[in-house]
Structure 1
Amino acid sequence: MTDVLSPATGTIRPLAEAPDPVFAAEMVGPGLAVDPAREPQTAVAPISGTIAKLHPHAFAIAGDGIAVLVHLGIDTVQLGGEGFEVLATEGAHVDAGAAVVRWDPTTVEAGDRSPIVMVCVLDQLAGAVPTDRAGSPVAVGETLLTWPS
């Protein structure tokens, strides 16, 4: 079993509530979303592993038998990195809970974008993550979901 940590502080939501049809249909992979607290935050690595991809608004970490994508907000690629500060390096090994990106959900929201954070287990079937914790608060670094790896 692998604990997947929450990259942000906020309220747990099912991916189906993400205002993006690709994430909502779990085409990227199953997982959960976090409606982030509207304050500056540091997004952390959800699992230990290698940072396979790193952009200011999103990152993927490949661990032992699991890969997880964290996407900070909807359509945030359009911001060109504005409002995000990358704290890690692509290709680096990180421990779960390590700081990866500093960002401010209020900046994202001010640009008429949703700041919701998607956490997806890559290369897995849709519907594989229970949504029974939806509506519960979660702090950055706390277990968001447990994956049977």
Structure 2
Amino acid sequence: MSHSDVTAPELSTEASAQIISVASPLPGRLIPLSEVPDPVFAKGLVGGGAAIIPDDDAGVITAVAPLDGKVVKVMPHAYIVQHASGPAVLVHVGIDTVRLKGEGFTVIAQKGEQVRAGDPMITVDVTLVRSKDLSMCSPVVILDSAADAIEAPASGGRVEAGARLFDLPGR
């Protein structure tokens, strides 16, 4: 078979329609939501997902879009990207970081903008956040999904920004 095999594009289109991969917005250590130091996230009240803890020596890092879609909300410490097929993913950079009122964060993306997985969304000064005694544990959650919507990742694995974090459950 050659590259002109007509069945290949059809198969890949079907597969991409069924599986939506969510990319890690940050580099760091992966933990299940149940280990997030915030009961709202830990109990899955916002939705199912996973969390990333940036490395101890992380300085200023860029958080990226977790999937292709539209930016429906962007704040210095959190953002939501909604896929064209409906599901929306919340990235919350750190715990209680809303208290910083934007200090240590720079917003790059704009509400209403179309983004692709891996596009820069915000930057965060991890050292500054930690100097304020706040956790950099960053939940990545499928909004309005069941707490067990995805298989919880094993604690301690490493992930790079833009690398596959988990797949959205079939709709």
Note the alpha carbon deviations across 1:5-44, whole angstroms, 9 max, x for none: 0000001001111111101001010000001122221000
Q: Which structure would you say has the larger RCO, counting Cα contacts within 8 Å and 6 or more residues apart? A: 1
Give the SS at the match of 1:30. Answer: strand
Deviation at 1:131, TM superposition (A): 1.9
Is it true that 1:102 corresponds to 2:123 in the alignment? yes
Q: How many corresponding residue pairs?
A: 149
Counterpart for residue 40 of structure 1:
60
Residue 36 (structure 2) pairs with residue 15 (structure 1): no
Q: State yes or no: 1:115 paired with 2:120.
A: no
Counterpart contact for 1:49–1:93, Cα < 8 Å: yes
Please list, as runs of the form range in 1=range in 2, the aligned pairs for 1:45-56 lying within 5 A after superposition.
45-56=65-76
Percent identity between the two aligned chains:
44
**Please, what TM-score do these two structures have when normalized by structure 1?**
0.96
Going by fraction, where is strand more abundant, 1 or 2?
1
Return the letter of the residue paired with 1:121. Answer: I
Match of 1:72 among 75, 85, 93: 93
Counterpart CA distance in 2 for 1:132 and 1:120 is 13
* CA RMSD, Structure 1 to Structure 2 (Å): 1.0
> 1:55-104: CA deviations, max 9, x gaps?
00000011123110000001110100000000110111111110000112
Ranges of 4+ aligned residues in structure 1 off by more than 4 Å? none
Larger proportion of helix: 2
Q: Report what 1:141 is aligned to.
A: 162
TM-score, normalized by length of structure 2? 0.84
